[in-house]
Each structure stands twice: as structure tokens, then as C-alpha cells.
Chain A
Amino acid sequence: MCTTCGCGGDGARIEGAAHGHHHDHDHGQSHAEDSRTIALELDILAKNNAYAAENRSFFAERGILALNLVSSPGSGKTALLVKTIGMLGGRLKSYVVEGDQQTSNDADRIRATGAPAVQINTGKGCHLDAHMVGHAVERLAPSEGSVVFIENVGNLVCPAAFDLGEAHKVAILSVTEGEDKPLKYPDMFAASDLVLLNKSDLLPHLDFDVAETIANARKVNPSIKVLQVSARSGEGMEAWIAWLTAARGMALAGYPLGTAAE
């Protein structure tokens, strides 16, 4: 999928990928001229956006729903995925791209469910970008009509700025993190279409105000949807599965009938 790849230099490692292509920008024999000013209007994230567009058309051509899961570390992204994949069971094939700075722990947890997973280690990098994800998806080779979950690096800041080609960003916020998170990290909540308010099983032990959290999220993004869930107890998971199924319906719209793996 990476047709115009400028790989190397970003320090990310994709599990199992021998990253062959190198790319050196040889400056040729151009001659120095006098100092001049060049006017440009170039979006610095344009390259990421171009890779994201490639990923998006890869998914669209195959009727695949791709979701980008974003949150602070430890909100329960992997736990939710494990639970979700279990509930989807044989109904819907799931694939997972796992992003962490180090370790393949999360990909191992996913593979234990039977779902294919590829781990990306970003090293010092604090977010996934569309280029790494394109290579990871290439390795995963997801089947037509499936769901690809991309678990981003635990970080509520910059993953907001990097389009990966997903249909939706889903923000996971656990009830131990405080009601003010949507206001403190507004970019992430502005970029997401859904919030999963996780660890709801802990609510009886906390004085976390769910209504205030939802109100804060809506100040930043008036159309954002919020579902209260628990990966531990399973509470609210049906509503999330229903949202997922509807989103998948959208991904399949226009996709040739009868060819999707139902």
C-alpha cells in the first residue's frame, strides 16, 4: 500500500517487517544560486495525510471498517479490544494494529484471543503515523468486510493530529482519570466521534461525575457520542457493539453485496 515510501529515519519498528526500501534524497549536481525567497503554502503534515488517504482507500476498496483507538496510557484500550473481539466472536473478523513505544505485550494479549495482530514499536515516537500503519496493515492483510482496530500509543495529545486513514477515532477515557480530561486535552475529543467511558464497574467506589464529563466533552465537540462501558464487567458493551455494527454497515455501503465475509 505504501507506493511512494520514504521510509527510514522515524525509528519505528514494525513486528516481523524487514524494512527493505531505503531512500536517499540525493541532491544531484544543482548549483548554488544567489539567495532567494520561495513562497510555499505547504502543509507540514501533508505527507502523513497522503499516506492516510492511501490507507483509507485500501480500507474502502475492501469494505473494511478501520477504527483508531486513542487514550491516555492504561485507560483500558487493550482490555476493551480483548472483550470486544470475544463478543464479536465468529460474526465479524477482527484485526489489530498495536502501537506502543516498547514491548509486544499488547499484541500478545490480542493474539491470545485468536485475532491476528501486528505490533508497532514507535521507540521514542509518541504517536502512530499513517505510514507505519500502512505497513502494519500490509502485514496483517485483513480480509474483505473485516474490522481493523488500531490501538494508538497511550497519549492524549498528538495522536489527535495524525490521521491514520481510519473511519473514526474512538477516545477511551476511564472513570479514574477525572471529569476535566476533555477540557484539558480538547484536541483529542474534538477529533473523536465516540467516547468510551471505561471502567464503569469502579464508579461505586469513586465520586466521578459522568454527566459533567459528558457535558465537558460536548463543549469541545457538540456531536460527540459517549457510551459508558466496562471491559471488566461487560456493562454497556452491547451498546458499543451496536455502534460498531452500525459503523461497519457504513463501511460496507456500496461494497459489492455477497462478497463481504459475513
Chain B
Amino acid sequence: MHEMSLCENILGILKEQALAQNFEKVTRVSVEIGSLSCVEPEALRFGFDVVMRGSLAEDATLDIIETEALAECLDCGATSAIAERYDPCPMCGSHHRKVTRGEEFRIRELEVN
């Protein structure tokens, strides 16, 4: 449900870009999803096809690039991969960590004509 509204956001961006960059049809949308973003790739795929139906991006391919999240330890300074927000620092065990990557949800590339 939530992913449906995110797909509406994507469609809005496609329509704006179509005007700004002068294209009529989108054949591929490449989206980056950070592993700590609120987006579930499978649900996004499902919503994408439904929402794009009848639009300039009907039948467009959705490419999903999933990025691994990184966190910086505020105690020992180590940066390491983080699977869940509550994972402790693998170097010192601290929970004082700042997520530095992995919350992205953005369009990276479009293929249009």
C-alpha cells in the first residue's frame, strides 16, 4: 500500500522529467534502494506495474539497485556494514552508531524515447 504511494511519487517525477527533458515514453527506470530505507523492493515492483499502467511508463522495466547500509561508530570511529539499525559496532560493541549510507531511495537513471 505504502509502496503504491511511492510509485505515485515516481510517476510524478517521470511526468515532470518528460516535460523538462522532452521525452514521451519511459522504457526503463533504475531506482536505488538503501537497505535501511522504508522500501520493500518486491512490494515496489508490484506497485510499479500497477501504477504505471496507462501512463508514459507503461511496460517500463524497473531496475532495482540495492545498496548496503554503512554506519560510523561514534565511540571507536570504525565504519562498517550494518544490516539492522540495532546492530552493535563489530569492532567495539557500541550501539552509538550513525548511519552514513543505506537510507537512499532515489531514481538513478531513466531510459526514454
Which chain A residue shows the least CB distance to B6?
A44
Taken residue by residue from 142 to 172, chain A's Cβ proximity to chain B (1 for < 8 Å, 0 otherwise) reads as 0000000000000001101100000000000
Q: Does A257 contact B (CB under 8 A)?
A: no
Q: Does B38 contact A (CB under 8 A)?
A: yes
Q: Does A173 contact B (CB under 8 A)?
A: no
The interface residues of chain A lying within 8 Å CB-to-CB of B9 are: 44-45, 47-48
Q: Does A206 contact B (CB under 8 A)?
A: no
Which chain A residue shows the least CB distance to B5?
A125
The interface residues of chain A lying within 8 Å CB-to-CB of B12 are: 6, 47
The interface residues of chain A lying within 8 Å CB-to-CB of B36 are: 187
Q: Does A18 contact B (CB under 8 A)?
A: no
State A220–B82 Cα separation when bound (angstroms): 12
Report if A9-B113 is in contact (Cβ < 8 Å); known contacts: A40-B17, A45-B105, A157-B2: no
B12 to chain A, nearest CB (A): 6
The interface residues of chain A lying within 8 Å CB-to-CB of B4 are: 124
User: By the criterion CB–CB under 8 Å, are B23 and A183 in contact?
Assistant: no
Contact for B1 among A126, A129, A220, CB less than 8 A: A126
Which chain B residue shows the least CB distance to A161?
B38
Q: Does B110 contact A (CB under 8 A)?
A: yes
User: By the criterion CB–CB under 8 Å, are A32 and B25 in contact?
Assistant: yes
Residue count of chain B within 8 Å CB distance of chain A: 44
Count of A-B residue pairs with CB < 8 Å: 121
Q: Does B108 contact A (CB under 8 A)?
A: yes
Q: Does A207 contact B (CB under 8 A)?
A: no
Q: Does A262 contact B (CB under 8 A)?
A: no
B residues 92-113 near A (Cβ < 8 Å) are 95-96, 99, 104-113
The interface residues of chain B lying within 8 Å CB-to-CB of A125 are: 1, 5
Q: Does A213 contact B (CB under 8 A)?
A: no
Interface stretch of the complex, out of A23-31, A55-63, A106-114: A23-31
The interface residues of chain B lying within 8 Å CB-to-CB of A38 are: 17, 21, 23, 109-112
B residues 55-103 near A (Cβ < 8 Å) are 56, 74, 84-86, 88, 95-96, 99
User: By the criterion CB–CB under 8 Å, are B86 and A33 in contact?
Assistant: no
Q: Does B13 contact A (CB under 8 A)?
A: yes
User: By the criterion CB–CB under 8 Å, are A35 and B113 in contact?
Assistant: yes
The interface residues of chain B lying within 8 Å CB-to-CB of A28 are: 19
The interface residues of chain B lying within 8 Å CB-to-CB of A27 are: 15, 18-19, 24, 56
User: By the criterion CB–CB under 8 Å, are A186 and B1 in contact?
Assistant: no
A102 to chain B, nearest CB (A): 14
User: By the criterion CB–CB under 8 Å, are A161 and B1 in contact?
Assistant: no
The interface residues of chain A lying within 8 Å CB-to-CB of B88 are: 219
User: By the criterion CB–CB under 8 Å, are B86 and A216 in contact?
Assistant: yes
Report if A219-B95 is in contact (Cβ < 8 Å); known contacts: A30-B24, A38-B109: yes
Which chain B residue shows the least CB distance to A28?
B19
Q: Does A42 contact B (CB under 8 A)?
A: yes
The interface residues of chain B lying within 8 Å CB-to-CB of A186 are: 84-86
Which chain A residue shows the least CB distance to B38?
A161
State A129–B113 Cα separation when bound (angstroms): 32
Q: Does A222 contact B (CB under 8 A)?
A: yes
User: By the criterion CB–CB under 8 Å, are A25 and B95 in contact?
Assistant: no
A30 to chain B, nearest CB (A): 5
User: By the criterion CB–CB under 8 Å, are B15 and A25 in contact?
Assistant: yes
B66 to chain A, nearest CB (A): 15
Give me the interface of A with B, judged by CB distance under 8 Å. 6, 9-10, 25, 27-28, 30-48, 124-127, 129, 157-158, 160-161, 182-183, 186-187, 190, 216, 218-220, 222
